[in-house]
């Protein structure tokens, strides 16, 4: 799922005035900040922000879009969106594309230079809700949060002090009329924030649409983490910024979609939480479902179930009954 053409063109145009080596150097600093787990969203200069857009925005868009694909009809009635920690507007673009019925879009961003860049991007959108979005300056922990049908916070919690996670998630939840979308890096640290968010939301009476297929405590073992992966084709500016040879990359992410009204899950439904292991005549799946974590092997003799298992992908839902 590539970023929209209008957004790709807007990023490419912003990069026109940036020397090639400056972009590569800024992208290298960005990569180092991820490896050393330093916060990156307050990137201090135009070159750093543009490097983020070139090197990271296509991947974060793909992750958010992949998470949104699991929403189903949960947010079909959503007419308003509040995107908190909006950065360059990545989630706003992805959600506006997925939910064409949105009429009102509000973005909260703590750093004015990010908001200014995001506005320029949004002006190129074909979606009126995005072009006419209201941008507010403020911190996720303290700024007033206007109510909206859907609230999103993507690649935000991992950038904030860990102790603030629960309090911020409560604030996001209280602002949401229908539900909340959270996406974080698919790392131990990223999932740790999602796990705290899930526990917080469970205490608030939330129900989960995805990736969880149950509303019980998370069964993930200490030291392990629930994450998924999406492969995306690299834009030309994406490859250039990262000095990459491959035409694609894999983005790992953790996510959570919570709703106010419980949506019943079919009996026997579970999420595939690892890449399926395929061998001659059998497929082994690692699953997370109502009964907890499980590993199951589907032999060729299982017939229809085996044929389904051969096509199954990491992150898919798995139904134990045909």
pLDDT band at residue 21, thresholds of 50, 70 and 90? confident
* Superfamily grouping for domain 5-259: Vaccinia Virus protein VP39 (3.40.50.150)
Q: Considering only 11-20, 30-39, 75-84, 211-220, which range has the smallest mean pLDDT?
A: 30-39
Mean pLDDT of 17-37: 76
For 9-44, the DSSP string reads: HHHHHHHTTS-HHHHHHHHHHHHHHHHTT---TT--
Mean pLDDT of 182-192: 96
Contacts of 252 (CB under 8 A, 6+ apart): 185, 186, 187, 227, 228, 229
pLDDT band at residue 267, thresholds of 50, 70 and 90? low
- What sign does the CA torsion over 188, 194, 199, 200 have? positive
For the chain, domain boundaries: 5-259, 269-319
Mean pLDDT of 124-134: 95
CA distance 24 to 46: 13
pLDDT, tens only, 205-247: 999 999 999 988 999 988 899 999 999 988 888 887 787 888 8
Q: Are 121 and 11 in contact (CB under 8 A)?
A: yes
State the DSSP code for 312. Answer: -
Helix (H, G, I), strand (E, B) or coil at 165: helix
Q: Are 298 and 279 in contact (CB under 8 A)?
A: no
What is the rounded end-to-end Cα distance, in angstroms, of the chain?
Answer: 29
The per-residue pLDDT for 44 is 66
- What sign does the CA torsion over 29, 34, 36, 41 have? positive
The per-residue pLDDT for 322 is 57
CA distance 60 to 82: 18
Q: What percent of the chain has pLDDT over 70?
A: 94
The per-residue pLDDT for 96 is 96
Helix (H, G, I), strand (E, B) or coil at 309: helix
* Residue of 64, 83, 81 whose CA lies nearest to 253: 64
Question: Is residue 37 predicted with pLDDT exceeding 70?
Answer: no
pLDDT band at residue 285, thresholds of 50, 70 and 90? very high
Helix (H, G, I), strand (E, B) or coil at 174: helix
Mean pLDDT of 93-118: 95
pLDDT, tens only, 46-105: 888 988 898 899 999 999 999 999 998 889 999 999 999 999 999 999 999 999 999 999
Copy the structure tokens of residue 27.
């992208």
pLDDT, tens only, 286-319: 999 988 999 999 999 999 999 999 999 999 999 8
Give long-range contacts, CB 8 A cutoff, 24+ apart: 242-246.
Answer: 242/27, 242/31, 242/55, 243/24, 243/27
* Residue of 185, 196, 191, 110 whose CA lies nearest to 155: 185
* pTM greater than the 0.75 cutoff: yes
Q: Which has more pLDDT, 119 or 54?
A: 119
């Amino acid at each position: 799922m590539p970023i929209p053409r209008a957004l790709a063109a807007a990023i490419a145009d912003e990069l026109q005035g940036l020397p090639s080596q400056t972009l590569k150097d800024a992208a290298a600093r960005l990569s180092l900040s991820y490896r050393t787990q330093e916060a990156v969203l307050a990137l201090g200069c135009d070159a750093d922000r543009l490097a983020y857009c070139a090197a990271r925005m296509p991947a974060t868009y793909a992750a958010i879009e992949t998470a949104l694909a699991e929403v189903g009809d949960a947010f079909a009635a959503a007419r308003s969106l509040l995107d908190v920690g909006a950065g360059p507007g990545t989630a706003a673009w992805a959600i506006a594309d997925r939910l064409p019925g949105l009429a009102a879009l509000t973005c909260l961003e703590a750093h004015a230079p990010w908001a200014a860049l995001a506005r320029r991007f949004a002006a190129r959108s074909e979606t009126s809700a995005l072009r006419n979005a209201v941008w507010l300056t403020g911190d996720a922990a303290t700024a007033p949060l206007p109510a909206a049908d859907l609230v999103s916070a993507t690649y935000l919690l991992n950038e904030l002090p860990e102790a603030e996670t629960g309090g911020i998630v409560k604030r996001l939840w209280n602002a949401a009329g229908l539900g909340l979308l959270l996406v974080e890096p698919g790392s131990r640290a990223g999932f740790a924030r999602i796990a705290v968010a899930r526990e917080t939301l469970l205490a608030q009476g939330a129900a989960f649409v995805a990736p969880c297929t149950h509303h019980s405590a998370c069964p993930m073992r200490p030291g392990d983490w629930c994450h998924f992966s999406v492969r995306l084709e690299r834009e030309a500016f994406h490859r250039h910024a990262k000095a990459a040879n491959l035409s694609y990359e894999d983005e790992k992410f953790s996510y959570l979609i919570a709703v106010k009204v419980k949506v019943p899950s079919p009996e026997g439904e579970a999420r595939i939480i690892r890449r399926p292991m395929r061998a001659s005549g059998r497929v082994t799946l690692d699953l997370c479902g109502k009964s907890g974590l499980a590993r199951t092997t589907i032999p060729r003799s299982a017939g229809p179930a085996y044929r389904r298992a051969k096509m199954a992908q990491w992150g898919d839902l798995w139904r134990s009954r045909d």
